[in-house]
Structure 1
């Protein structure tokens, strides 16, 4: 990723690219919240289930198209997924709320 983003955000996309759920979960705070596909997961156990379940159901690549700080602790990343899921392509936004060098909240939506 060549865009200027906080290290924890770059590590998230790198761990996701490697399909390494343990590395991804290590980036979150203990009380983190993830919202994806309209469903909210709270805490490490629910986020781990999401990573090993719905988030791993398909093979895909992620192309990060842009990133911007939208506050002192919030980063909005835009990108495109391509893979073997219905439709084959999805333009998404990842809204990261950070706490120090960890992810406190992640919202993924079109």
Structure 2
């Protein structure tokens, strides 16, 4: 079953696809975390460094295929393209209010 993503999650997906690092960072809580296959990047400075090297800096493109709710998470299945990793991935988002508190990337 495919569901709609929240506005908070959609902002991050759009920012990534638009190559807009500032909008991407603005979509996280102050203590927000990106967990990229077990590597945690907490806070805007560390998320920016990770993204510059591995995500938006690699001209990431996310083609969303499905969205599911699993407990408190929104899990987005996407085909990833760009100049870095290419292939299918799952992005699990935890939302706190209008912002994302955690984005976990996994198989």
Which band: TM-score by shorter chain?
0.7 to 0.9
Structure 1 segments unaligned to the other structure (5+ residues): none
Highest RCO, 1 vs 2 (Cα 8 Å, sep ≥ 6): 2
Larger radius of gyration: 1
Per the alignment, do residues 79 and 100 of structure 1 end up closer, same or farther by CA in structure 2, a change over 3 Å counting? same
Q: Distance in 2 between matches of 1:84 and 1:45?
A: 22
Structure 2 segments unaligned to the other structure (5+ residues): none
Per-residue deviation, residues 6-41 of structure 1 (Å, max 9, x unmatched): 011111111111111000000000011111143210
How many residues align structurally? 106
- Taking only aligned residues, the RMSD between alpha carbons, in angstroms, comes to 1.9
TM-score, L = length of structure 2: 0.87
Instruction: Give the ranges of 4+ consecutive aligned residues of structure 1 lying more than 2 Å apart after TM superposition.
Output: 56-61, 82-86
Aligned to 2:91: 94
TM-score, L = length of structure 1: 0.84
Q: Distance in 2 between matches of 1:52 and 1:60?
A: 10
